[in-house]
Amino acid sequence: MDGKTLNALSSAIFVSRCTLAGEAVDTDDKRIRASGLYPEWQEGKHAKGDIYNADGQTWECYQEYDNATYPDIRPGESAWYTFNRPLHGTSPETARPFVPVQGAHDMYRAGEYMVWTDGKVYRCKEDTNFSPEDYPQAWETDATEQQESGGEAE
């Protein structure tokens, strides 16, 4: 079984469990856990609230657009971030690679997690639009948490 199929299967199990418990998939963290069921982004019309995967992330369209009118709105292009925001996980398991913040709509909030370029998972300690490199006091790793609590770091 390939990774994409495994992700879709684990996402389907997660959504089924939510449904049986009477819960909605209504938070960024839950949407990331269900990400294997979302389509890959494709050119076309995109409505506010659409969710899709692109470039190893799960994204939400927060401003409607149509690629027939705006062909430069595509993953990796600067216009992409004006219309789409990456979802941020609230657990180490749902951490996704860091995406530089473009505005208030996609800033990292306290309690959210991401994977930095060093491969480590970081937890945001305070709302920030900066990376761990630019503003390290807003972020911590498991090793940082252990040091602060008196434990040994790796």
Asked if residues 153 and 132 have their Cβ atoms less than 8 Å apart, the reply is no
Q: Give the closest residue to 94 by CA, choosing from 12, 11, 17.
A: 11
Q: Which residue has the tokens 């505005």?
A: 103
Q: Is residue 19 domain-shared with residue 43, that is, in the same domain?
A: no
Mean of the per-residue pLDDT values of the chain: 91
Calculate the alpha carbon distances from 98 to 17, 20, 28, 72 in Å: 29, 33, 15, 22
Asked whether the CA dihedral 44, 48, 50, 56 is positive or negative, the reply is: positive
CA distances (Å), 141 to each of 37, 95, 100, 125, in order?
30, 12, 18, 10
Q: Is the pLDDT of residue 63 over 70?
A: yes
Q: What is the average per-residue pLDDT within 33-39?
A: 97
Q: 130 Cβ partners below 8 Å, 6+ apart?
A: 101, 138
The range of the structural domain enclosing residue 7 comes to: 1-36
Q: Are residues 98 and 150 in the same domain?
A: yes
Domain total for the chain? 3
Assign 143 a pLDDT band (cuts: 50, 70, 90): low
Please say if the pLDDT value at position 67 is more than 70: yes
Query: What integer pLDDT is reported at residue 3 of this predicted model?
Result: 86
Say if residue 120 is exposed, middle or buried (CB neighbours under 10 Å; 0-12, 13-18, 19+): middle
The answer to whether the predicted template modeling score (pTM) of the entire model surpasses 0.75 is: yes
Residue 142 has pLDDT above 60, yes or no: yes
Least confident of 45-49, 86-90, 145-149: 145-149
- Based on the domain organization, do 32 and 51 belong to the same domain? no
The answer, yes or no, to whether residue 59 has pLDDT greater than 80, is: yes
Report the CATH number that the domain containing residue 69 is assigned in CATH: 2.10.10
pLDDT at 150 over 80: no
105 in the same domain as 64: no
153 pLDDT more than 50: no
- Please indicate, yes or no, whether residues 53 and 12 belong to a single structural domain of this protein: no
Name residues whose C-beta falls within 8 Å of residue 97's C-beta, 6 or more positions apart in sequence.
Answer: 56, 57, 114, 115
Q: Is the pLDDT of residue 125 over 90?
A: yes
Mean pLDDT of 58-62: 96
> Which pair of tokens denotes residue 54?
């692109």
